[in-house]
Structure 1
Amino acid sequence: MILHMAPSHGWIEVVCGSMFSGKTQELIRRLKLATIARQKVQVFNSNLDVRYAKQHIVSHDKSMLACRAVKNSRDILKAVDKDTQVIGVDEVHFFDPYIVGVCQKLADSGRRVIAAGLDQDYRGEPFMNMARLMAVSEFVTKNLAICMVCGAPAHFSQRLSESGRRIEVGAGDKYEARCRKCFTPEK
């Protein structure tokens, strides 16, 4: 659900949800549509995301789109070309707290910003970058996965082993999508 905005007005779209809910797949879909519409698109990802490919955002179904991996959110501002109209940012939860201001600055400059990421960690606690970004965005899409235990709608990311770290990059080897009933948060 994207409204037609005046070309000079920027805005922020957030795609959030649990692991395996199709966030990156939806981000790629929106960015490809913008490319088909002949809009200049640039895509960024955190260099912490080393699951699949450094120079691509890749969904779990292996859809991919070229991107630039950056160390921090300020690197995005430095790398955006003047004529870029649409900016995609994947794995927002991996970025520093400045990502919210960076997205706002880009939208304020007349650009469409599409940001995707987890809204909760493996304990069910909010990632504050995403919570703050959702609060200032024009559009929020919350994707649900399917619980890998019972098949119900799932919005939690269940970590399968304890590492002691809040952020642990992984996919099906380390996480499962779980519903409210089947989710067992670690304390």
Structure 2
Amino acid sequence: MLSELISAERARTKIAALFDSEAAATGAAERVRRDAGVDRGQVRLVRPGEAHFGRKLEPEERGIVLTAIRAHLTLGLVGAVVGLIVYGVLYIAGIPAVVSSPVVAAALAASFGLVFGLLAGGLATARPDHQAVVAPVREAVHAGRWAVVVHPASPQQCDDALKVLHGASGEVVRTI
């Protein structure tokens, strides 16, 4: 649920399958479009030696920017609230440093929570799980191989695309 609040991308999951020939890659791309009900724009073919394939892997520039804004705002706010909850627990527990300076303690707790929330927002924006797709595609393209990249918009499309690609290639990778 939290991922839906912070993500502005239509397709949060990325799937890639690697192929040795153009025929195998284009055939798999067509089968994904046909059998998984994926639109043409959601399936991208990356050619060997293609220099600027990053847009095929991350086509939603506007969605990524909005995700960064949403992630930082949402998780920063959640962090601040958690910090205030921790402050409340410490105050109720009667911790002398908190009870003797309640306003300062509350401000510090909220500030620390905000900072940790903003850091979590940065991590959510960076999407380290995408490296599971980006790195193998980069290596394959530099080695003269082909890649089919799918951006499913629903869990059903994701499952169907994975099924098709596993039947077509022994090398299928995906993000979380």
| TM-score when normalising by structure 1 | 0.25
Higher helix content, 1 or 2: 2
Higher Rg: 2
Q: Which has the higher contact order (CA 8 A, sep 6+)?
A: 2
TM-score if structure 2 supplies the norm length? 0.26
